[in-house]
A = this chain, B = another copy of it.
Amino acid sequence: MEQKSLVISVDAMGGDYAPRSILEGVALAAKKHKEAFFFLFGKEEVLSPLVKEVGLDPTCFKIHHSDDVVKATDKPSQAIRSGRNSSMWQAIMAVRNGYAKAVVSAGNTGALMAMSKICLGTISGIDRPAIAAVLPSATGPTVSLDLGANAECDAQNLVEFAIMGDVLYKVLFGLDRPSVGLLNIGSEETKGREEIREAAAQLKEYADKMNFYGFVEGNDIAAGTTNVIVSDGFSGNVALKTLEGTAKFIANSLKKEIKKSPVGILGFLIAGRSVSKFKKSVDPRKFNGAMFVGLNGISVKSHGSADAFAFACAIDSAIRMAKQDLCEKIKDEMHTFMNLGGLNDTEAP
């Protein structure tokens, strides 16, 4: 373990295909990231034979036994009360206690979010943590937040999301001044909700610190108009799921129509390489991994139905954030913005 500098904590029991797909994902990630060492939380008697089966290199992991598993159907409150011996809780606690740099889980989203918030705590100056994800777009990957942690947000929350999204994009993709857009229902200044107009006014004042683009609309997400899309958790969640649903609908409708005719099938077989290249470019597995940002520690949520490749992608994101010290960078940026005034100015009328 000593030569491996980066410890990633994995909840090996969470997810529809856990623990097998989780361990296979860890094996993929371990091959790619030679510097990474994995703490695998879960039932030792289950994990021990499986790590051999999936061919996990013995020098890159350690199993930490935990008795319980948070179920997909558990309510967050319930999971928090009775889940202290769960693989999820203990995997998060490894980050809290400084043994690991990030935690990745494919388990119950609500429970992971609640537990991460309790165990890791919120960064000073951040009112509400958010869920962020990377999405494909016509201009490359974009970062979107909040995707569901906060159904209602005020202007201050949106400004904080913008700052965190800005830092996250820099950390993940190394761009100096990513453009940041605020989701609205029109590009005119008078459109939309009061809190969004207020947030826009405030973000405009940070022009030297942030490349704030202004308002964007739903179609700008896939168009990739900005690198970062900021929204409240309700509209962000609606947009994310609408995007996923639309992509699925189009793919299925096209498939159905093609399959109806032998000539259609023939054509698609011939165009096969182009089609599979296209599929690869928008493969949702590559974008797996929702990130809880605003916490004192890195916590990544994989899709529950992730296969090995998808889970390895979620680990990828966790490693990139850990290496770049996301939390410290968010703290620094918050500090800078707070000194500019406006933020957390709770004394003001």
Contact = CB atoms under 8 A, between A and B. Distances in A.
B271 A263 contact: yes
Nearest to A267: B271
B271 A271 contact: yes
Contacts of A152: 193
| Size class of the A contact interface (CB-based, 8 Å) | 35 or more
Nearest to A241: B218
Majority secondary structure of chain A interface residues (helix, strand, loop or mixed): helix
A219 B234 contact: no
Given A219-B242, A281-B257, A270 B273 contact: no
Given A252-B138, A253-B282, A281-B253, A151 B185 contact: yes
Given A242-B221, A245-B219, A282-B250, A263 B257 contact: no
B266 A270 contact: yes
Contacts of A53: none
B274 A248 contact: no
B267 A237 contact: no
B267 A241 contact: no
Contact of A239 (B193, B218, B267, B268): B218
A119 B268 CA distance: 54
A339 interface: no
Interface in A231-247: 231, 233-235, 237-247
Q: How many copies of this kind of chain does the complex include? A: 2
Interface in A276-294: 277-278, 281-282
Contacts of A220: 245
Contacts of A186: 148
B270 A274 contact: no
A246 B248 CA distance: 11
Given A193-B151, A266-B270, A138 B258 contact: no
Given A218-B242, A219-B242, 19 more contacts: A183-B238, A193-B234, A217-B241, A218-B245, A219-B241, A219-B245, A221-B246, A222-B250, A223-B249, A234-B235, A235-B235, A235-B238, A246-B250, A247-B250, A254-B275, A263-B270, A267-B267, A267-B270, A271-B271
29 contacts: A148-B186, A151-B185, A151-B192, A152-B193, A185-B237, A192-B234, A193-B234, A217-B238, A218-B241, A218-B242, A218-B243, A219-B244, A220-B245, A221-B242, A223-B248, A231-B238, A234-B235, A238-B239, A239-B239, A242-B246, A246-B250, A250-B250, A253-B278, A253-B282, A257-B275, A258-B271, A258-B275, A264-B274, A267-B267
Interface of A: 137-138, 148, 151-152, 183, 185-186, 191-193, 217-223, 231, 233-235, 237-254, 257-258, 260-261, 263-275, 277-278, 281-282
